[in-house]
């Protein structure tokens, strides 16, 4: 049985050096332990060895008993930059991810990042990375306030649907973030509801109906989607505009989404499994973010009252299937 961690994050060293050289809207400093610190408006990220040292990361995976990771960049990606610079940096990140996935293919694969603050550049980069062998991309839950359901992204979704690509939605600075500045409310609460908002909007707008070849994945167990899907269905029944773009209730689309297990509460995992099925759940750790854990990922899945076959699917089989590994 192969264990694949679908949700984790990596900063290529080439990207960090590019930020130091500039131009960039990040300010880069170094902490007392020698870790780069990326400062952005209202936030800062400490880039610990697990974020940037692939050999260190591989040793951690060995110790944890995890066979493979699907590397992804992390919020806010390159969207903090000007559109032109965002496109340049996204390509640099993707080239670095491809090099790791090629040289260490037994341990790592990757999803590309896109410069979503430039829809045309995102389409160009998607076409480039698809030709290079990427099976999909990680999208942020909004593009500097622009909804993923916005029509400017539909040409991208058409290409992605034709390629049967994986589109993995990960949260970023939420709409209304100014209300979330205390107590880490942005990542603890805002992230989850921005994912929920993005998924609901994609369904109600008809994007998911219109582009059926895309395999949609939601981070952090879908935010609140499994819990709120019944309410979305009631909205579909009650309001004509909620039926205008789709011929069936939202839950019928959302049950076909995939959900990673970055919610280590076994009861929550069981609820999501009951909603979407064990074959639509993907193991995820959020490593090496401070709030993530490879150990808790494995422990929570082990505690599920499921058959060995279903657990094997969650631990790696489902990810292998949608990524053709």
63 token code pair: 């110790």
What would the CATH number be for the domain defined by 4-9+48-323?
A: 3.20.20.140
Q: Are strands 68-71 and 166-170 parallel, antiparallel or unpaired?
A: unpaired
Average pLDDT of span 65-84: 95
**CB atoms < 10 A from the CB of 105, how many?**
11
Q: How many CA atoms lie within 13 A of 111 on its CB side?
A: 31
pLDDT digits (tens, 9 = 90+) for 172-188: 989 888 888 889 898 89
CB of 306 closer than 8 Å to CB of 283: no
pTM for this prediction: 0.96
What's the burial of 87, exposed, middle or buried (CB within 10 Å: 0-12/13-18/19+)? buried
Q: Is residue 41 pLDDT above 80, yes or no?
A: no
What residue spans define the domains of the chain? 4-9+48-323
pLDDT digits (tens, 9 = 90+) for 1-12: 899 999 999 999
- Write phi, then psi, for 315 (nearest 5 degrees): -70, -25
Kindly give the interhelix angle for 119-132 and 83-103, rounded to the nearest 10 degrees: 10
pLDDT digits (tens, 9 = 90+) for 267-293: 999 999 999 999 999 999 999 999 999
151 token code pair: 């029509």
Average pLDDT of span 239-253: 98
Which residues, including other chains, have CB under 8 Å from residue 129's CB and lie 6 or more apart?
Answer: 94, 98, 112, 137
Q: Are strands 258-260 and 281-282 parallel, antiparallel or unpaired?
A: parallel
């Amino acid at each position: 049985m192969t264990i694949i961690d679908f949700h984790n994050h990596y900063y290529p060293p080439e990207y960090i050096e590019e930020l130091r050289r500039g131009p960039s809207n990040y300010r880069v400093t170094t902490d007392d332990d020698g870790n780069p610190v990326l400062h952005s408006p209202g936030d800062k990220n400490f880039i610990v060895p697990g974020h940037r040292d692939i050999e260190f990361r591989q040793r951690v995976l060995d110790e944890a008993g995890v066979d493979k990771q699907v590397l992804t960049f992390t919020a806010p990606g390159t969207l903090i930059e000007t559109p032109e610079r965002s496109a340049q940096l996204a390509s640099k990140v993707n080239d670095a991810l491809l090099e790791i996935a090629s040289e260490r293919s037994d341990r790592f694969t990757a999803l590309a990042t896109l410069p979503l603050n430039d829809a045309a550049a995102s389409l160009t980069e998607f076409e480039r990375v698809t030709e290079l062998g990427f099976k999909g991309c990680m999208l942020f839950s909004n593009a500097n306030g622009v909804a993923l359901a916005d029509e400017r992204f539909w040409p991208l979704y058409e290409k992605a649907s034709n390629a049967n690509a994986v589109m993995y939605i990960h949260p970023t600075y939420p709409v209304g973030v100014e209300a979330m500045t205390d107590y880490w409310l942005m990542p603890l609460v805002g992230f989850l509801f921005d994912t929920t908002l993005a998924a609901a909007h994609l369904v109600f707008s008809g994007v998911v109906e219109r582009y059926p070849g895309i395999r949609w994945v939601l981070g952090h167990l879908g935010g609140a989607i499994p819990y709120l899907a019944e309410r979305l269905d009631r909205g579909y029944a009650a309001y004509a505009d909620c039926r205008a773009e789709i011929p069936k209730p939202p839950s019928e689309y959302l049950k076909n989404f995939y959900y990673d297990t970055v919610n280590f509460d076994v009861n929550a995992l069981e609820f999501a499994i009951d909603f979407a099925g064990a074959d639509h759940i993907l193991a995820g750790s959020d490593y090496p973010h401070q709030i993530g854990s490879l150990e808790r990922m494995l422990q929570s899945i082990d505690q599920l009252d499921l058959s060995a076959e279903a657990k094997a699917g969650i631990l790696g089989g489902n990810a292998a299937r949608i990524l053709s590994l």
